Amino acid sequence: MTPSDSKSLLERAYGDAVARVDDQDETRARILDAAYEQFCRMGIRRSTMEDVARRAQVSRITVYRRFATKDVLVEHVVRREFRRYFDRFLVDIEQAGTAADRVVLGFVSSLRAIRGNPLIGGLIAAEPDLLVPAMITDEGQTLATVRRFVAGQLRREQHAGNVSADLDADLVAELMVRISTSFLTIPSQVVDLDDDEQLATVARRFLVPMLEPSRLPD
């Protein structure tokens, strides 16, 4: 699960989403589809490159030509799912009419999308030692990537006049992302993460007030 260069999976996925990158290699896309289905059905540890090749109906050599190792294949499958999450997030928040509504919808949508994703949500639940460490022990790269994404959305709100120009977008984004990440990685006995209404209430009570600079400590 270690990325092949210094960028985290989320950094690359976010870059893909912003650039609207699309995979034009049909064989590569078919292998990624097959790997996604294989990993969802059997888990990553129990799956082999041969399993993926068989499901994609290509030779094992074809798989290895595009993905040198199983770790590289896993990286690209997970990266594609995170890219889809960013795409979905950007579509979802467009439905909201105010900055506060976008914070609430973004929080609920993010938790639902990631926990509900058969691969990523399944990894968090069944194989957390594969995914969670990559999310929280990469010297903060993953968190920083999501923070930059959220901060970018907050700055858009500032430029549109929907949020105070005095708001520290990076600090607010950092706090929001850390709260969301904690819910994803640590089970809660207080908040029902499957209850969108309760999640929306939590967001309105604790996240929306962060949009007011006076509500944050100096």
- Band the pLDDT of 108: cuts 50, 70, 90: very high
DSSP H helical ranges for the chain: 9-19, 26-42, 49-56, 60-66, 70-93, 99-116, 120-126, 128-136, 141-159, 169-185, 196-202
pLDDT (average), residues 30-56:
93
Residue tagged 């007011």 (tokens): 212
Give the single-character DSSP code of 58: S
Per-residue model confidence as pLDDT tens digits over 47-77: 999 999 999 999 999 999 999 999 889 888 8
Alpha carbon separation from 133 to 5, 41, 128, 210 (Å, rounded): 17, 22, 8, 28
Q: Which percentage of the chain shows pLDDT scores above 70?
A: 77
> Cα–Cα distance between 162 and 96 in angstroms, integer?
13
> Cα–Cα distance between 70 and 86 in angstroms, integer?
24
Per-residue model confidence as pLDDT tens digits over 133-174: 555 545 667 678 788 888 998 999 999 999 999 999 999 999
| Residue 1 pLDDT exceeds 50 | no
Per the CB < 8 A criterion, the answer to whether 36 and 119 are in contact is: yes
Q: Please give the structure tokens belonging to residue 165.
A: 């120009």
